[in-house]
Amino acid sequence: MVNIMAPYAEQIAAFEAALETRVTRLKALADAATEKGETFDAEAREEVDTLKGEVKSLNQQIADLKEIEAMVGATAKPVDGSSAKAASDSRDPRVPAQVKAAEKLDPGIAVARIARAKAVAAVKGMTQREAAATLYGENSSTYGVFAKAAVAPALTTTPSWAGNLVGDEGSVYADFIEYLRPQTILGRFGNNGIPSLRNVGFRTPLIGQTTGGSGYWVGEGQAKPLTKFDFSRTTLEPLKVANIAIASKEVLEYSNPSADGIIRDSLVAALRERLDIDFIDPTKSAVSGVSPASITNGITAIPSSGVDADAVRADIRAIFAAFIAANNAPTSGVWIMAATQALSLSLMLNPLGATGVSWDRDERRHSVWPAGDRFGTRPVGNRGAGQHLGYLSGR
């Protein structure tokens, strides 16, 4: 049923959607007959004739509406904005004003709705727009994403590509990223006392100093020695992480909003697992144009000296020594380890039965927090500086 009070553009879009459904059904019937090597049977023939008649009628209706829309546009009168009353009087009384409240969704749910609508469309043999309308209604933001004209794919090297990608679709995926990022190790930097990382733009050259120079005492009238500095140049290329989450037909078709949450959490869990592992796995090397190396790839590991509290303190001393020997000031490092390992540290007791190593509890799979006297060590300097050390334990 098409709302005759809707603007012409909405009526045309609705009839075009109905036309697309019938054409898709005609194609399915024709493909089925071709696959069997047969002509249409009596039942199929009747359905085909009916669909052909509807297609013809819909095409005529769409053409008529477009023609009427053009004629109405040519005779449209400008709105008198001199006063509120004049503006109201000059408005077409046949088109009632409508106020639509903005749809508020939980973080990440919009992407889950899009994924669910696409899956239901594939299972049910309908268009994605019809699936979105069935699941969430034609006034939903999800339906609005599918109701828009398709955008041709673009590469980052294609001129003027950005303008085509700005809109509801972009905000939907940005919302999902905002929901995913804080759940990853990388996304926890800069929050809850964890030092922030420096933001670097893609394809921006980074100049780093690999070796330092030397200074010399020079006597009166003597030549000044030369010194040498070495630098490196690195460029951060944009790379992406993707996944395909599996959901049963029952979950996809279940109308309860919790189904959207299940799909969202499945997508997030898979992406978080890959991002976290590849961020800290020492064996993860870079694959050109596909994925970056981990932050620990290529480092020399410091073997653990034991499993008791004394051994933990000895390991911390060794890590501090290596960190400082590399001319790194321990002012912005963090501890990263599996939650089970952090739990083991918290349960250690000294010979007097007191807690041997303390920590801040965190129920995530990996625990990330500033280092310092939380592990039985004392901060170097005052409380506000020198209390962090960069350290990574194995999973």
What is the band of 218 on the pLDDT scale with cuts at 50, 70, 90? very high
pLDDT surpasses 80 at 339:
no
User: What is the average pLDDT across 72-99?
Assistant: 62
Task: Flag whether 382 is in a domain.
Answer: yes
> What is the overall mean pLDDT for the chain?
75
Task: Flag whether 376 is in a domain.
Answer: yes
How far is residue 263's CA from residue 103's CA, in Å, rounded to a whole number?
19
Residue 50 DSSP symbol? H
Task: Flag whether 159 is in a domain.
Answer: no
What domain range is 356 assigned to?
Answer: 309-392
pLDDT surpasses 50 at 387:
no
Per-residue pLDDT of 305-321, as tens digits, reads 888 888 888 888 898 88
pLDDT at 142 (0 to 100): 84
Residue 369 or residue 107, greater confidence:
107
User: What is the average pLDDT across 266-271?
Assistant: 87
Of the segments 162-176, 253-267, 275-289, 339-353, which one has the largest average pLDDT value? 275-289
Task: Flag whether 333 is in a domain.
Answer: yes
pLDDT surpasses 80 at 140:
yes
Q: Are 388 and 331 in contact (CB under 8 A)?
A: yes
What is the band of 270 on the pLDDT scale with cuts at 50, 70, 90? confident
pLDDT at 358 (0 to 100): 54
Task: Flag whether 277 is in a domain.
Answer: no
Place of tokens 């009596």: 42
Residue 251 or residue 221, greater confidence:
221
User: What is the average pLDDT across 351-366?
Assistant: 55
Query: Containing H/E element for 310?
Result: helix 309-325
How far is residue 238's CA from residue 258's CA, in Å, rounded to a whole number?
34
pLDDT at 217 (0 to 100): 92
Query: CA 361, 367, 373, 376: dihedral to nearest 10 degrees?
Result: 80
Helix (H, G, I), strand (E, B) or coil at 216: coil
Helix (H, G, I), strand (E, B) or coil at 152: coil
User: Percentage of the chain with pLDDT > 90?
Assistant: 2
Task: Flag whether 387 is in a domain.
Answer: yes
Least confident of 41-55, 64-78, 93-107: 93-107
Place of tokens 């893609």: 202
Task: Flag whether 324 is in a domain.
Answer: yes
- 48: nearest Cα among 29, 71, 74, 67: 29
pLDDT at 84 (0 to 100): 63
Per-residue pLDDT of 18-38, as tens digits, reads 888 888 888 888 888 888 888
**Overall number of domains in the chain:** 1
For 138, 140, 151, 216, the CA distances from 171, given in Å and listed in that order, are 19, 15, 15, 58
Predicted TM-score (pTM) of the model is 0.52
Task: Flag whether 353 is in a domain.
Answer: yes
